[in-house]
Structure 1
Amino acid sequence: MENPPEKYVKKYGRANLIGQSVLYATDNPLTALAEMRPEAGQLITISKWKLATDYDLTVNSIFKNSPRKNRVSNSMTMRAQLEYSNLVSKIDYPKGLLDQIDLLIHFICDYFSKEVNDANHFDYFLSAHYANQIFTVLQDGEIDAIFYPSVRQSLELTNIAMKATVFKNNYTLESVEESKLVRFHNNGWQLEGTGDSKKFEDNNIIWF
Structure 2
Amino acid sequence: MAGGAVGTLEPVTSHPTRTRTTGLLLAAGAGRRYGQPKGTVVDADGAWVVSAARALLDGGCADVLVVTGAEAEHVEALLAADDDLTELDTVTTTRCGTWEQGMGESLRAGLTALATRGRTIPQQALLHLVDLPDVGAQVVARVLASAGAGTAALARAAYDGRPGHPVLIGRDHWEGVLGRADGDAGARGYLRTVPPLLVECGDLAGGADVDEPTCRG
TM-score, with structure 1 as normaliser: 0.28
Larger radius of gyration: 1
